[in-house]
């Protein structure tokens, strides 16, 4: 069949909308009509050429929602007409990682996914007879996409595609980092670096967990109002802090008799390795945990004095908020439908596929929280 898609032909170049060929689903795969897809900073990270796993040409996009329109042989858990969210972190429930119960990082198809291919080692997408790579196993910047059954979460049918697509990455990553990875308790203090599409969801996750003090840090003062809208209690713009940022944040979080300072939990939602170090170092001595969410460019490395770890700070990372997609994503959709979490105000812009590059421009200029492409 044919599908309209935004193709990344070369690193650093705008996406180009084209009509591509798409082969139907093979054994264990489903064909999904994507109804809406968010644009995450990770799409920009790969488009820009900063992703060491980036392969071109490719169809990017990993934050979609849609409807199953065909199923391949052997598919048992899904049928035509099901409403679904594609999962860049699948959940096979059979691999050692899934069975360990210690991680959400299913390994069943990770190798071929990183090569931009379906599990059988081939691509379903092509243009003028030449293959186009898949991306993160999802390629939601295409009106139709093929997915392995294990990489699809079935959701309730009354959930609006143009909102719940955001659960395919940003919402689940932010809220999951708080609940699954950090396991934040009521009354905690937290610092969130980067108040974009991920950081604001960390903030709403912290509010949900009952955190007392939620400090947001961003270079863009417009993000103050955004953070407050979702539960942030204090805002810091590093450009406006006279002294060093870390001592400033430690000072702000001083509590109790010892007056040591430092947050119980900190989160990097920028992908900047200098910020990751600051996030670790403003965590509380003895128990503070710092969670790396941001994705850093090829070649970037993190560093700190080992003393920071010797004295009890914990450096952790999280992918997809530690969520097991087929199990957890339908639950997060329920939370949204029941009004436990907010999504609508964060979707600041919508656009047709033809205007997808405008979504990337808005992200660059710090004007959007989430842009969503509607098919």
CA distance 344 to 351: 15
Contact call for residue 103 and ligand NAD (CB under 6 A): no
Please pick, from the candidates 6, 98, 269, 372, the single residue that binds ligand NAD as defined by CB under 6 A. Answer: 269
Residue with tokens 């996030």: 279
Answer with the entry of ligand NAD, ligand AHE, Zn ion, none that 51 interacts with (C-beta below 5 to 8 A by kind): ligand AHE
Answer with the entry of Zn ion, ligand NAD, ligand AHE, none that 193 interacts with (C-beta below 5 to 8 A by kind): ligand NAD
Residue with tokens 């050429």: 49
Please pick, from the candidates 151, 164, 169, 372, the single residue that binds Zn ion as defined by CB under 5 A. Answer: 169
Contact (Cβ atoms closer than 8 angstroms) between residue 276 and residue 292? yes
Contact call for residue 276 and ligand AHE (CB under 6 A): no
- Phi and psi torsions of 134, nearest 5°: -75, 170
CB of 266 to ligand AHE, least distance (A): 19
Interacting residues with ligand AHE between 154 and 193 (CB under 6 A)? 169
From the list 16-24, 264-272, 328-336, 337-345, the region that binds ligand NAD by CB under 6 A is: 264-272
From the list 6-14, 17-25, 248-256, 270-278, the region that binds ligand NAD by CB under 6 A is: 270-278
Q: How many CB atoms lie within 10 A of CB 197?
A: 27
CA distance 166 to 370: 8
From the list 144-152, 158-166, 195-203, 207-215, the region that binds ligand NAD by CB under 6 A is: 195-203
Please pick, from the candidates 1, 19, 27, 52, the single residue that binds ligand AHE as defined by CB under 6 A. Answer: 52
CA distance 178 to 174: 7
Q: How many CB atoms lie within 10 A of CB 234?
A: 16
- Catalytic site residues? 40-42, 62-63, 92, 95, 98, 106, 110, 169, 370
Please pick, from the candidates 24, 131, 238, 330, the single residue that binds ligand NAD as defined by CB under 6 A. Answer: 238
CB of 265 to ligand NAD, least distance (A): 16
Name the residue whose CB lies closest to ligand AHE: 42
Q: How many helices (H) and strands (E) does the chain have?
A: 12, 17
Contact call for residue 40 and Zn ion (CB under 5 A): yes
Please pick, from the candidates 53, 225, 240, 344, the single residue that binds ligand AHE as defined by CB under 6 A. Answer: 53
For residue 312, what are its two tokens? 């009890």
Which of helix, strand or coil describes residue 350?
strand
Residue with tokens 């996750």: 205
- Give strand ranges (E) for the chain: 2-7, 16-22, 29-38, 64-71, 83-86, 125-127, 130-132, 144-148, 152-155, 189-193, 213-217, 234-236, 265-268, 289-292, 314-317, 347-352, 370-374
Interacting residues with ligand AHE between 300 and 319 (CB under 6 A)? 319
Helix axes 41-48, 356-364, angle to 10 degrees: 100
Contact (Cβ atoms closer than 8 angstroms) between residue 337 and residue 159? yes
The HSE-up count of residue 251 (CA atoms within 13 Å, CB side) is 8
Please pick, from the candidates 3, 42, 113, 143, the single residue that binds Zn ion as defined by CB under 5 A. Answer: 42
Contact call for residue 55 and ligand AHE (CB under 6 A): no
- Residues interacting with ligand AHE, by CB under 6 A? 40, 42, 51-53, 89, 105, 110, 169, 295, 319-320
- Residues interacting with ligand NAD, by CB under 6 A? 40-42, 45, 169, 173, 193-199, 217-220, 223, 238, 269-272, 275, 293-295, 318-320, 363, 366
């Amino acid at each position: 069949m044919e599908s309209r898609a935004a193709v990344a032909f070369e690193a650093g170049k705008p996406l180009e909308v084209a009509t591509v060929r798409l082969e139907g689903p093979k054994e264990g795969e489903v064909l999904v009509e994507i109804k809406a897809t968010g644009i995450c900073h990770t799409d920009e990270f790969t488009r820009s050429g900063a992703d060491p796993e980036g392969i071109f040409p490719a169809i990017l996009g990993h934050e979609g929602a849609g409807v199953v329109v065909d199923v391949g042989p052997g598919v048992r858990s899904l049928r035509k007409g099901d409403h679904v969210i594609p999962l860049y972190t699948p959940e096979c429930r059979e691999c050692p990682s899934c069975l360990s119960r210690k991680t959400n990082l299913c390994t069943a198809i990770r190798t071929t996914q990183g090569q931009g291919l379906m599990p059988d080692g081939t691509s379903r997408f092509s243009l003028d007879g030449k293959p186009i790579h898949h991306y993160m196993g999802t390629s939601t910047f295409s009106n139709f996409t093929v997915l392995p059954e294990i990489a699809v979460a079935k959701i309730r049918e009354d959930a609006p595609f143009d909102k719940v697509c955001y659960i395919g990455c940003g919402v689940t990553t932010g809220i999951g980092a708080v609940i699954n990875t950090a396991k934040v308790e009521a009354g905690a203090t937290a610092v969130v670096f980067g108040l974009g599409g991920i950081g604001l969801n960390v903030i709403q996750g912290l509010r949900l967990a009952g955190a007392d003090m939620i400090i947001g840090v961003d270079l863009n003062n417009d993000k103050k109002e955004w953070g407050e809208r979702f539960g942030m209690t204090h805002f810091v713009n590093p450009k406006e802090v006279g002294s060093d940022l870390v001592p400033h944040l430690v000072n702000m979080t001083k509590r109790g008799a010892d007056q040591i300072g430092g947050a119980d939990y900190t989160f990097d939602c920028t992908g900047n390795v200098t910020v990751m170090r600051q996030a670790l170092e403003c965590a509380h001595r003895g128990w503070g945990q710092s969670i790396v969410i941001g994705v850093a460019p090829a070649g970037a490395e993190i560093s700190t004095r080992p003393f920071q770890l010797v004295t009890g700070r914990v450096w952790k990372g999280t992918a997809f908020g530690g969520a097991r997609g087929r199990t957890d994503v339908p639950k997060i959709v329920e939370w949204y439908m029941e009004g436990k979490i907010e999504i609508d105000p964060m979707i600041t812009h919508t656009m047709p596929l033809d205007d997808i590059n405008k979504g990337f421009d808005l992200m660059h200029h710090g004007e959007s929280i989430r842009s969503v492409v509607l098919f």
